């Protein structure tokens, strides 16, 4: 990590940070700085471009006049349940539907959180990297989803973060906290979208899945064409909890999504899907860490990349099995389709195993469309281009078909088809 | 299972003796004078001294890499000798009969009888002790075929134009910290040259032996196969048991011109340190080959020794239709650490690479596969297939798989698959039900796990490698 | 030969064998039949010494305490298990495996080792009787074998290792009628006054080719009925529930 220029700190962070967490973030950032491509986890991230944009950026205005409910519907969809909308990292109640009537669910922002007893863990947290430290230091609000123990939520909770830039590049730092109580069931959709213009979104999400809980988390990054996105999602799973997580990347110019899953209790399982589709000059970078620090947990990663034009898609998956654990089952796969001579795919499917009672596998492929399959389709009368599109869609289908609810699945499918000119 | 772990922990190193040979030593420490001294001792031409000095000056600007997944106390590069040679008892030997009997006895003890090798096995051997080549067998017969196989020093004297053309052409001294160090202070090594169209009539082999204490070993191997030539080469390595760590930083360069083929096999069994992790060789090696059009470079390695192994035998697939292969078995027990793998750089069209890596970790050892498959924009039709399997024996060891795949061509096909598991309880039970002891069953299953790699070794060495594996795994039992 | 008294076996808090008694004399062939979940495979696993079971009761084999021995000691004493699902061992040649196993057992029995050439001849002779292609020897143990090939390979091992007690765990499952005949005839040929066999099976199919001296019905972890080979027919005709109730 390099030291971050003091000027950057002062410009992006309010002079007197409003909370102890913000203060910790500022201190951490001042001490350690932002990462560089020499940091292994950032090897495939164009960090210099992101830092350059941050250096040129101003804090995003909190102005929300452009954002109405219909704009949110258009950008992120309506998936039936309660919806929290944040614009440039600040709660926008007029576009939200906090659904106070849902049993066992509490939704709110920083103001509401302050009225509640603080989480015991919050005081010890340290940022995982410079961007998260910046998020804490410069963030102005927080989206909070608290699910009572045992609550079974039928409808998805939708958190929408909208980047609404002005004339110049703007930086915003949305933060989301989700606490799923023991035995609860919740389906969370996080949408990162934006209005046209240059923006840097530096997001941080923390999800705690209590013992025996069932958490579904879909993260969709579909920001505007000039947007830069750096996101980190940390999910801590209690014993016997079940996680289904999906990360979709379609938007942005440079976008990085880091997902860190840790097993804190035994017999938990996580299914993690990902789909990224860099087109034009887009760069989509995925970093997934699964930390098997408790015994008898199972994890499966399935990430699919389709890179086209001058796009670059990267996947860094890291399975860590800690010393002293037993009965770990971990699987990781990353498939990539390279569709243009100027596109690039990178993949690092890593296993780091420090215990012997494990069954771990990983597989990665980078390739082109299957000529035999294409020929088969053409021999049945399907024109070349259509056949190609069918096969590309088929390559993504495994991930898209598993998305719920149907409204979200259809949205992703439509974004996929639009990107592919279909 | 615990029995097996115990047995692994009790494993004994069979090559730990050392000979009290009279040795000529340079003073400890590293500076330009030491570089000049080495060059002068070897009566080298001025261009080579200049090359060494350039490498040394570059070395001073570098820092030791920290990215490998290995941990060791800092290496004091001033606290070791950079030149150690068995003191000659007269003029250089002209034939095997003239080699110092004590040195011959030392190699006999290692199971490498130079005389027997010449008489019976039909394998030409270059024996290198403390970085100095002491004997090369079969020279006359090889010369008939036009093959040059000699010590590096002799090559500098007798074939300076060849050495000058190819030295540093695959691994430039700027390549990395250890390559720069080696380029500055390398003392000897092997040189092979197979002229155009010649199939080398026999296996070539070099045995490396570290004998002197507190001495770094820096040898250099250069193999050139001209157009349409082919050669199979094997190196073996052992060292005495000593409590201090010893540094081994070698460089191997392979040049396979159009239609040439080089098969390079290694059985590395440097002293791994004792059961508590004390002593052992730090093995930091740079190995790389460059393949011309339709050329093949194949690396096979069986790595059982060294306290730390850091090596990535690589192939630059520069020519169209060239082929790169990497077959590896790495076994770590006790406190050994291995960070090894390969790089396949696809530049030419229709280039193909295959990677097959088998890692076995026991005791408190850490075993890392690190590999890069890079397909450049020019490499239309490139293909790679990689498989890395790791086997864990005991709850305190680690197996790590760190592949990097970077593809910039839309016609490339790259596949990577890997698995990590312990020796299967079902397999153990099945063998034991048929009457095998747990140790024998484990050894059999592990050997089976490595079989595909052993099959790539030249026939003479496949048996040796299996025996070495059994010794490594069974220790006291064997 | 084998004397089992009040044998119980459990995994965790689940009891699978619940006070099983069984006596097999030298030269006898016994069949243990029972529905799925009766404890058939547990019986064979416990007798062969697989980890993971907690046991009580006694098992005496050739006059000694069987349960105190390691799996390889049991094998050396002459206990052989033909597995229901023989495991694949990649990279380990079938011939090498069999040769090593045979010599390991001979060593314990105080018999001289058999050299590779003699072993090959011996193995080929046994394989011919089982209608097996000699190419089997050069393949890895069970790797890529069909279900039938795996079972034949088990019977080959049985005939080569010449055990005192052979346990055949569902050896007839997954075999077509021709393979079943070859396996059945192979087993029948191995009948010997000094060799006992315990055939564990769900179906009575194998018993058309091998006539057992005794047939036992295993249900809920214990023997609920014992008869001669007619009992197998009865089971086929009326099912386990009805037969056990009589």
Predicted confidence at residue B1, as pLDDT, reads 36
Rounded mean pLDDT, B211-221: 80
Task: Give the pLDDT band of residue B98 (cuts 50, 70, 90).
Answer: low
Taking 90 as the threshold, does the pLDDT of residue B170 lie above it?
yes
Rounded mean pLDDT, B17-29: 72
Chains with 3 or more CB pairs closer than 8 angstroms to C?
B
Closest residue of chain B to A337, computed from CA coordinates = B410
On chain A, the residues whose CB falls within 8 A of the CB of B344 are none
In the predicted model, what is the mean pLDDT of chain B?
84
On chain C, the residues whose CB falls within 8 A of the CB of B447 are 91-92
Q: Do B411 and A362 touch (CB under 8 A)?
A: no
For testing contact with chain A, the best of B68, B374, B385, B418 (most A CBs within 10 A): B418
On chain B, the residues whose CB falls within 8 A of the CB of C71 are 429, 432-433
Q: Do A345 and B407 touch (CB under 8 A)?
A: yes
Predicted confidence at residue A64, as pLDDT, reads 59
Q: Do B444 and C92 touch (CB under 8 A)?
A: yes
Q: Do B433 and C81 touch (CB under 8 A)?
A: yes
On chain B, the residues whose CB falls within 8 A of the CB of A40 are 67
B231: left (phi over 0), alpha (psi -120 to 50) or beta: beta
Q: Do C70 and B448 touch (CB under 8 A)?
A: no
**Cα–Cα separations (whole angstroms), residue B136 to B64, B97, B114, B252, B387:** 34, 11, 8, 18, 37
Q: Decide which of 3.40.50.300, 3.40.50.720, 3.40.50.620, 3.30.1050.10 is the CATH code for C2-245.
A: 3.40.50.300
Predicted confidence at residue A269, as pLDDT, reads 97
Q: Do C49 and B433 touch (CB under 8 A)?
A: yes
**Partner residue opposite B413 with nearest CB, options A340, A348, A367:** A367
DSSP B417-446: EEEEEEPPHHHHHHHHHTT--HHHHHHHHH
Taking 60 as the threshold, does the pLDDT of residue B117 lie above it?
no
**Partner residue opposite C48 with nearest CB, options B424, B433, B440:** B433
Handedness of CA C15, C16, C22, C27 (dihedral sign): negative
Taking 50 as the threshold, does the pLDDT of residue B119 lie above it?
no
* Centroid of chain to Cα A92: 21
Task: Give the pLDDT band of residue B195 (cuts 50, 70, 90).
Answer: very high
Rounded mean pLDDT, B207-212: 72
Taking 70 as the threshold, does the pLDDT of residue B215 lie above it?
yes
On chain A, the residues whose CB falls within 8 A of the CB of B399 are 351, 353
Predicted confidence at residue B94, as pLDDT, reads 55
**Partner residue opposite C86 with nearest CB, options B424, B425, B430:** B430
Predicted confidence at residue A343, as pLDDT, reads 96
pLDDT digits (tens, 9 = 90+) for B381-400: 999 999 999 999 988 999 99
Q: Do B417 and A341 touch (CB under 8 A)?
A: no
Q: Do B434 and C161 touch (CB under 8 A)?
A: yes
Predicted confidence at residue B476, as pLDDT, reads 25
Taking 60 as the threshold, does the pLDDT of residue B110 lie above it?
no
For testing contact with chain C, the best of B422, B427, B433, B443 (most C CBs within 10 A): B433
For testing contact with chain A, the best of B406, B415, B427, B428 (most A CBs within 10 A): B406
On chain A, the residues whose CB falls within 8 A of the CB of B416 are 347, 349, 362-365
Question: Residue C89: how many CA atoms within 13 Å on its side-chain side?
Answer: 26
Predicted confidence at residue A113, as pLDDT, reads 81
Task: Give the pLDDT band of residue B19 (cuts 50, 70, 90).
Answer: low
Residue with token string 């106070």: A100
Rg (CA), chain C: 18
- Taking the model in full, what pTM does it have? 0.86
On chain B, the residues whose CB falls within 8 A of the CB of C140 are 448, 451
**Is the CB of B434 inside 8 Å of chain C's CB atoms?**
yes
Higher pLDDT, B246 or A307: A307
Task: Give the pLDDT band of residue B347 (cuts 50, 70, 90).
Answer: very high
Q: Do B416 and A364 touch (CB under 8 A)?
A: yes
Q: Do B399 and A344 touch (CB under 8 A)?
A: no
Q: What is the share, in percent, of chain B residues with pLDDT greater than 70?
A: 80
On chain B, the residues whose CB falls within 8 A of the CB of A365 are 413-416
Higher pLDDT, B469 or A102: A102
Predicted confidence at residue B467, as pLDDT, reads 73
- Chain B nearest CA to C18, separation (Å): 24
Predicted confidence at residue B120, as pLDDT, reads 42
Q: State the 10-residue block means of pLDDT for chain A, 422 residues long.
A: 63 73 90 90 93 86 76 93 93 84 88 76 79 93 94 95 88 95 97 94 96 98 96 97 97 97 97 96 97 97 96 96 95 96 95 93 92 80 84 92 95 88 56
Which run of H or E residues covers position C104?
helix C94-109
Q: What is the ipTM of this complex?
A: 0.88
Task: Give the pLDDT band of residue B2 (cuts 50, 70, 90).
Answer: very low
Q: Do B415 and A363 touch (CB under 8 A)?
A: yes
The per-residue pLDDT string of chain C (246 residues; one tens digit each, 9 = 90 and over) reads: 899 999 999 998 899 999 999 999 999 999 999 888 889 989 999 999 888 899 999 999 998 999 999 888 898 889 999 998 888 888 888 888 888 888 888 888 888 989 888 999 999 999 888 888 888 888 888 888 888 888 888 889 888 888 999 999 988 887 888 888 888 888 888 889 999 999 998 877 788 888 899 999 998 899 998 988 888 888 878 877 776 666
Q: Do B445 and C89 touch (CB under 8 A)?
A: yes
Of A254-258, B22-26, B226-230, C220-224, where does mean pLDDT reach its minimum?
B22-26
pLDDT digits (tens, 9 = 90+) for B293-316: 999 999 999 998 888 999 999 999
Taking 90 as the threshold, does the pLDDT of residue B85 lie above it?
no
| Contact call for residues B331 and B469 (beta carbons, < 8 A) | yes
Closest residue of chain B to C96, computed from CA coordinates = B444
Rounded mean pLDDT, B149-158: 90
Predicted confidence at residue C187, as pLDDT, reads 85
| Contact call for residues B69 and B365 (beta carbons, < 8 A) | no
Q: Do C and B have ≥3 inter-chain CB pairs under 8 A?
A: yes
């Amino acid at each position: 990590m390099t030291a971050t220029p003091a000027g950057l700190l002062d410009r992006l962070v309010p002079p007197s940070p409003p909370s102890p967490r913000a203060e910790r973030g500022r201190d951490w950032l001042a001490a350690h700085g932002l990462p560089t491509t020499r940091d292994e986890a950032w090897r495939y991230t164009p960090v210099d471009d992101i830092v350059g944009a941050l250096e040129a950026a101003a804090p995003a205005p909190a102005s929300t006049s452009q954002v109405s409910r219909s704009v949110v519907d258009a950008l992120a969809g309506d998936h039936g349940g309660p919806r929290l909308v944040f614009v440039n990292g600040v709660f926008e109640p007029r576009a939200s539907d906090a659904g106070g009537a849902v049993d066992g669910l509490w939704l709110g922002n920083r103001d509401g959180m302050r009225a509640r007893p603080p989480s015991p863990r919050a005081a010890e947290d340290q940022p995982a990297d410079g961007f998260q430290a910046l998020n804490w230091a410069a963030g102005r609000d927080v989206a909070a989803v608290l699910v009572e123990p045992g609550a079974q939520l039928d409808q998805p909770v939708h958190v929408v973060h909208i980047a609404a830039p002005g004339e110049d590049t703007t930086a915003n730092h949305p933060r989301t906290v989700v606490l799923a109580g023991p035995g609860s069931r919740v389906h969370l959709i996080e949408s990162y979208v934006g209005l046209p213009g240059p923006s840097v979104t530096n997001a941080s999400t923390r999800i705690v899945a209590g013992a025996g809980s069932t958490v579904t988390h879909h993260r969709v990054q579909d920001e505007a064409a000039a947007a830069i996105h750096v996101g980190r999602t940390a999910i801590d799973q209690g014993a016997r909890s079940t996680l289904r997580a999906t990360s979709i990347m379609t938007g942005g110019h440079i976008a990085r999504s880091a997902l860190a899953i840790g097993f804190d209790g035994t017999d938990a399982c996580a299914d993690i899907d990902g789909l990224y589709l860099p087109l034009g000059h887009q760069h989509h970078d995925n970093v997934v860490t699964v930390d098997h620090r408790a015994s008898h947990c199972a994890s499966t990663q399935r990430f699919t990349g389709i890179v086209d034009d001058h796009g670059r898609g990267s996947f860094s998956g890291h399975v860590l099995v800690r010393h002293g654990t037993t009965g770990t089952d971990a699987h990781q796969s990353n498939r990539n389709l390279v569709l243009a001579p100027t596109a690039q795919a990178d993949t690092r499917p890593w296993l780091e195993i420090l215990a012997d009672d494990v069954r771990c596998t990983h597989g990665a492929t980078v390739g082109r469309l299957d000529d035999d399959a294409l020929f088969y389709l053409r021999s049945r009368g399907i024109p070349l281009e259509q056949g190609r599109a069918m096969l590309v869609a088929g390559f993504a289908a495994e991930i898209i078909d598993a998305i719920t609810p149907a409204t979200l699945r259809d949205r992703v499918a439509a974004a996929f088809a639009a990107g592919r000119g279909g | 299972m615990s029995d097996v772990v115990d047995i692994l922990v009790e494993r004994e190193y069979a090559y730990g003796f050392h000979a009290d040979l009279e040795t000529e030593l340079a003073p400890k420490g590293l500076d330009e004078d030491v570089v000049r001294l080495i060059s002068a001792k070897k009566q080298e031409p001025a261009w080579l001294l200049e090359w060494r000095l350039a490498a040394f000056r570059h070395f001073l600007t570098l820092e030791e890499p920290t990215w490998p997944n290995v941990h060791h106390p800092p290496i004091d590069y001033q606290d070791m000798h950079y030149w150690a040679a068995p003191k000659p008892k007269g003029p250089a030997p002209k034939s095997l009969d003239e080699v110092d009997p004590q040195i011959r006895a030392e190699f006999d003890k290692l199971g490498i009888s130079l005389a027997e090798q010449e008489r019976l096995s039909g394998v030409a051997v270059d024996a290198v002790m403390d970085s100095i080549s002491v004997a090369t067998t079969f020279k006359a017969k090889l010369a008939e075929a036009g093959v040059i196989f000699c010590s590096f020093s002799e090559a500098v004297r007798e074939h300076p134009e060849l050495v000058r053309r190819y030295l540093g052409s695959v691994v430039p001294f700027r390549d990395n910290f250890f390559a720069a160090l080696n380029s500055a202070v390398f003392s000897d090594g092997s040189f092979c040259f197979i002229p155009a169209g010649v199939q080398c009539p026999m296996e070539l082999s070099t045995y490396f032996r570290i004998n002197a204490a507190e001495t770094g070993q820096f040898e250099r191997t250069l193999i050139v196969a001209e157009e349409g030539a082919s050669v199979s080469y094997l190196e073996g390595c052992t060292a005495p048991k000593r409590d201090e760590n010893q540094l081994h930083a070698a460089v191997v360069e392979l040049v396979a011109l159009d239609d040439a083929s080089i098969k390079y096999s290694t059985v590395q069994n440097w002293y791994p340190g004792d059961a508590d992790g004390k002593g052992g060789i730090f093995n930091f090696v740079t190995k790389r080959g460059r393949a011309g059009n339709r050329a093949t470079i194949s690396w096979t390695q069986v790595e059982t020794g060294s306290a730390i192994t850091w090596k990535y035998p690589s192939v630059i697939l520069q020519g169209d239709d060239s082929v790169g292969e990497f077959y590896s078995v790495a076994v770590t027990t006790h406190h050994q650490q291995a960070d090894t793998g390969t790089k396949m750089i696809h530049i030419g069209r229709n280039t193909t690479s295959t990677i097959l890596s088998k890692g076995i970790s026991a005791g408190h050892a850490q075993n890392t596969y690190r590999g890069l498959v890079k397909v450049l924009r020019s490499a239309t039709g490139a293909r790679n297939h990689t498989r890395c399997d790791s086997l864990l024996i005991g709850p305190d060891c680690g197996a790590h798989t760190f592949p990097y795949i970077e593809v910039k061509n839309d016609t490339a096909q790259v596949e990577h698959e890997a698995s990590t598991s312990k020796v299967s309880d079902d397999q153990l039970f099945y063998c034991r039900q048929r009457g095998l002891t747990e140790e024998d069953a484990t050894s059999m299953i592990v050997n089976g796990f490595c079989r595909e790699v052993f099959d790539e070794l030249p026939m003479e060495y496949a048996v040796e490698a299996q025996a070495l594996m059994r010794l490594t795994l069974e220790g006291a039992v064997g | 030969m084998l004397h089992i008294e009040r044998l119980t076996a459990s995994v965790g808090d689940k009891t699978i064998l619940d006070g099983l008694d069984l006596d097999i004399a030298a030269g006898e062939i016994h069949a243990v039949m029972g529905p799925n979940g009766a404890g058939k495979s547990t019986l064979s696993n416990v007798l062969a010494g697989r980890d993971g079971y907690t046991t009580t009761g006694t098992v005496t084999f050739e006059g000694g305490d069987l349960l105190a021995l390691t799996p390889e000691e049991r094998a050396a004493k002459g206990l052989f298990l033909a597995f229901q699902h023989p495991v694949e061992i990649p990279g380990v040649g079938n011939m090498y495996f069999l040769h090593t196993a045979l010599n390991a057992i001979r060593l314990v029995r105080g018999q001289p080792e058999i050299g590779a050439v003699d072993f090959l001849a011996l193995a080929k002779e046994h394989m011919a009787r089982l209608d097996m292609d000699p190419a089997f020897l050069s393949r890895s143990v069970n790797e890529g074998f069909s279900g039938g090939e795996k079972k034949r390979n088990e019977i080959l091992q049985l005939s080569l290792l010449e055990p005192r007690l052979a346990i055949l765990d569902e050896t007839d499952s997954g075999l077509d009628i021709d393979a079943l005949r070859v396996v059945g005839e192979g087993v029948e040929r191995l009948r010997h006054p000094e060799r006992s066999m315990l055939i564990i099976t769900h179906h009575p199919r194998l018993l058309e080719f091998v006539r057992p001296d005794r047939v036992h019905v295993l249900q809920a972890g214990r023997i609920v009925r014992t008869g001669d080979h007619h009992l197998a027919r009865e089971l086929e005709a009326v099912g386990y529930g009805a037969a056990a109730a009589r």
